[in-house]
Amino acid sequence: MKSQDFDKIYKNVPQDQKEMLKEFRASHPYKELDINGSCWRYISCGHGSKTLLFLPGGFAKADMWFYSILALEKDYRIIAPDAYTLQGTFAMGDVCCAILEIQGSFVFKPEVLQSWPGKILILSSKDDKLSIVSIEELKVRYPRAKMHIFEQGGHHTFSLFPEEYSSVIRDFLKKE
């Protein structure tokens, strides 16, 4: 991204936060994966035997998770794809499986989800007006999931309260 575009897009963001994002982007370059003629970008970083998959929603970019990535990459491998591609469409689930397989983290087989014993953490906030699915629907869909509901933060709790958000994730992962 050109410097003038960055400054225009982030004109109302405090200078220290803009610098932090610039440093993150410089130290965490995107990788690219071509799937059926569509170029998918993703960030792959971190250390550890466990891999975390950060999924952005809508048309967001992977670096929306930069606070959480910085907080967790010392202990976990992290893969974060962009949520869209302008070169074509492809199911996000298939893209994630392809990225995980290429990164040597996971080889997906359909039967895995039928009996998957893994843990699920659902994070939301009481004042999130943008979530498509309600908390009650998520509880029904994922009855074994651990839920953490923040008092505030709307749809952007991860960026408004990054330390608390990352702390909740870290505590959840340590309880294995």
Domain that holds residue 22: 1-109
What tens digit of pLDDT does each residue of 108-129 get?
A: 554 554 455 667 788 888 888 8
For residues 168, 71, 42, 5, the Cα torsion angle rounded to the nearest 10 degrees is 110
- Out of 55, 78, 109, pick the residue that ends a domain: 109
What band does 17 get if pLDDT is binned at 50, 70 and 90?
A: confident
Contact in structure between 41 and 96 (CB atoms under 8 Å): no
Number of domains in the chain: 2
- pTM, whole model, 2 decimals? 0.76
In the prediction, which pLDDT does 69 show?
A: 95
Assess contact for 46 and 66: CB atoms under 8 A.
Answer: no
Asked if the model's pLDDT at residue 1 lies above 70, the reply is no
Q: Based on the domain organization, do 51 and 23 belong to the same domain?
A: yes
| Structure tokens, 139 | 């509880």
81 and 127 inside one domain: no
Query: Does pLDDT of 40 surpass 60?
Result: yes
Three-class SS state of 13: coil
Residues 171, 132 share a domain: yes
Looking at the fold, whether 78 and 123 belong to one and the same domain comes out as no
- The whole-number pLDDT of residue 114 equals 46
Boundary-marking domain end, from 56, 91, 109: 109
* Per-residue model confidence (pLDDT) at position 87: 42
Q: Tell me: do 101 and 34 sit in the same domain.
A: yes
- Residue 107: count other Cβ atoms within 10 Å of its Cβ: 9
Helices and strands (DSSP H and E) totals, the chain: 8, 6
Please check whether residues 79 and 137 belong to one and the same domain: no
